[in-house]
A and B are shown apart, each in its own frame.
Chain A
Amino acid sequence: MAILTLREALNQAMSEEMERDPSVFLMGEEVAEYDGAYKVSKGMLAKFGPMRVVDSPISEAGFAGLGVGAAMCGLRPIIEMMTWNFAIQAFDQIINHAAKMLYMSGGQYKVPMVIRGPHGAAHMLSAQHSQCVDHMLVNCPGLKIISTIDPADAKGLMKSAIRDDNTVLFLESEMLYGRSGEVPDGEHIVPIGVGVVKRPGSDVTLVAWNKMVLLAQDVATELEKEGISVEIIDPRTLMPLDEEIIFNSVRKTNRLVVLEEGWGVASFGCHIVDRVVKECFDDLDAPPERVTNLFVPMPYNERLEHEVMPTAERTIAAIKAVLYK
């Protein structure tokens, strides 16, 4: 197995799928001549040419809509959003067209498209460029949503996403494109909708995804010194959600903490808590806790940014709260 960075793993997945299937193409701002704003598409223009690696104008709604049309016509576009913050421009195309076309055409048109890019806070990008969009998109039926920063998972899930006949949104992270890990060579497929136990434990279930998995692992290591055993569940796919892996863990630990980046009001963590309270009520020994961004626009100031994001201290406090410690 090769050690690849997240950007290399994504690049490998897209390149392998474009070699395998001529209907797959990549489009977005700076994906071709500049090799991608974050170099995810490095070398792909040289390899596949300008017909399949296409630089678009700064027009998110435009090229997202072009992707919907291309997909309806039988192609399999991968649309790169420089960041998901900019994709807010394209929400009409994503929510009203990509997500609903299959339904509204009575099954006549599929939209097999992947929209991918980084989301959430990076570093000192302030309020308009630091948003988590998962909870804004996840309650729209018709979309599949993947959120991971693990290189191996990213490769396997990207291949699944490209082959999926539905529109799949793929959420990455700017800060972690350079983070590396072991990635299986060649045909490595991770199915959409299957979560993973990142770390087994017995005292509390900590559900975290995307870059919060890293914080969760730090916290679990820290708490292990105090004799608290944390089980980390990474659902990897938000929609559809692998509920069973969460329920099974909560039935074992009897306690739940959801750690998510982004605002906590009506968030995806709310949905997880709702499902767990409904399905595992008699197994809960404490009310579930959530750790989220503070409910303010993201400050530019670096120290304030760290304050707004979920911290190890707040996560530990939440875990101790459900343990009554």
Chain B
Amino acid sequence: MATVMEMPKLSDTMSEGSVARWLKKEGDKVTAGIPVIEIDTDKATMEYESPAGGILLKILVGDGQKCPLQAPIAIIGKADEKWEEVLEKYNAKKGGAQTASKADASKAAAPQTASQTAVAKAPAASASVSQADVKASPLAKKIAADKGIDLKSIQGSGPNGRIVQRDLAQTSSSASMSSVHGIAAGAVVKIPHTNMRKTIARRLAESVNTAPHFYLSISLNMTNLLAWRKSIVAKLPDDQKFSVNDLAIFLTARALKRHPEVNSSWQDDCVLQYGDVHMSVAVALPNGLMTPVVRHADKLTVVQIAQETKRLVKIAKDGKLQPNDYAGGTFSVSNLGMTGIEEFTAIINPPQAAILAIGSTIPTPVVLANGTVGVEQRMKVTLSCDHRVIDGAVGAEFLKTLKQYFEDPATALFLG
């Protein structure tokens, strides 16, 4: 009995699916429970398992194509089964109720099959048209298809701008080329929206448009923390070392534990305050931004936070984050310190009530307690608050605790 594989709903916000890549070819043997396809959801590329064992008879939605949820994407069955008949039966069964009223019963299956095939084929046509606009050698086109590189974003060095193998040599993903190769004067490069980019745009616009933001900044004296970290890290084996960012997550989580009004979210009918701190960590990827979650950050050691963050960043960079890796955060940190940004304001990651933006630690002239001017290692952090949930004084109290913890990390151990 053949099985029709459907486009699965892999996240709550997913409205259509896009096939990143089939891991098997037509005619290949597949086993139930073994990944056969990678699907682009609105957030990540996820492997998805075969619903049944048998031969992958027909791929209906090819690499790079999109289709609605629950639309048939492949047919799995025995080698001697005719996929056309399987699809026809499937369509007759599924479409029967809708089509019965429009067409007479004997023809019910046929138009449905036609329209299903049209759904499956239309994106293919548009995809090939867009690739055909680009002048590239057959080899370059093959490499681009294999690596998922968008040829439109690449400047060709062959005759008449033809893209050839060497133009793709340093390119590994669809987003990084323009910075590697630059864009010729006068040229305009069109980069189609990925699902991830669309989601980022929608959510961030929603955040700034609906959550009334205000910002609180504070400068932290990092002298003690840096010395403290240095002395501890020196004693740890390599796989347990932690960064200033890991410490920031650790201390922020503990400060949040003391200020549940900041570790909260706005809902239509209430404000939710959370007893656990699940820390969303902003990770920049070549094609967008993800916020995987370090769960129970308030209960983990710094070393555990370092290891979990490292693991999440790696799977995020591999595009393998699963929904439970990025869902359910209660607060976010965004650190641009390593890029030399001194201070910035971040947009709240809805429905959370606040986000902490961390700048770089720089030697700064300050007026010391004795009235003289000295130099201290200082780091500026900015808390973006949703005013519907957090009032100015509440945010300020949280930052006060944060300042205490950062400037005298030992207090976090006792006060947390």
Contacts and interface: CB of A to CB of B under 8 A. Distances in A.
A283 B158 contact: no
Q: Which of B137, B158, B164, B165 has the most CB of A within 10 A?
A: B137
Nearest to B156: A324
A273 interface: no
Contact of A282 (B139, B158, B164): B139
B159 A285 contact: no
Nearest to B139: A285
A283 B138 contact: yes
Contact of A324 (B138, B141, B142, B157): B157
A237 interface: no
Q: Which of A281, A282, A284 has the most CB of B within 10 A?
A: A282
Q: Which of A254, A281, A285, A286 has the most CB of B within 10 A?
A: A285
Interface string B118-142: 0000000000000000000111111
A281 B138 contact: yes
B141 A285 contact: no
SS of A interface (majority): loop
B164 A324 contact: yes
B159 to A, nearest CB: 7
B141 A282 contact: yes
A69 B201 CA distance: 85
A173 to B, nearest CB: 36
Interface residues of B, number: 12
A324 B141 CA distance: 17
B164 A284 contact: no
Contacts of A286: 137, 158, 164
B157 A283 contact: no
Contacts of A254: 139, 165
A254 B142 CA distance: 12
Nearest to B157: A324
Given A254-B165, A324-B164, A284 B158 contact: no
Contacts of B139: 254, 282-285
A167 B87 CA distance: 55
Nearest to B136: A285
A254 B158 CA distance: 14
Contact of B164 (A281, A283, A285): A285
Interface in A255-308: 281-286
A245 to B, nearest CB: 20
B159 A282 contact: no
A281 B138 CA distance: 6
Interface string B139-171: 111100000000000000111000011100000
A61 to B, nearest CB: 47
A98 to B, nearest CB: 40
A115 B137 CA distance: 43
A283 B143 CA distance: 9
Interface string B66-79: 00000000000000
Given A254-B165, A324-B164, A283 B142 contact: yes
22 contacts: A254-B139, A254-B165, A282-B138, A282-B139, A282-B141, A282-B142, A283-B138, A283-B139, A283-B142, A284-B137, A284-B138, A284-B139, A285-B137, A285-B138, A285-B139, A285-B140, A285-B165, A286-B137, A286-B164, A324-B157, A324-B159, A324-B164
Given A286-B164, A324-B158, A324-B166, 9 more contacts: A254-B139, A281-B138, A282-B139, A282-B141, A284-B137, A285-B137, A285-B139, A285-B165, A286-B158
Interface of A: 254, 281-286, 324
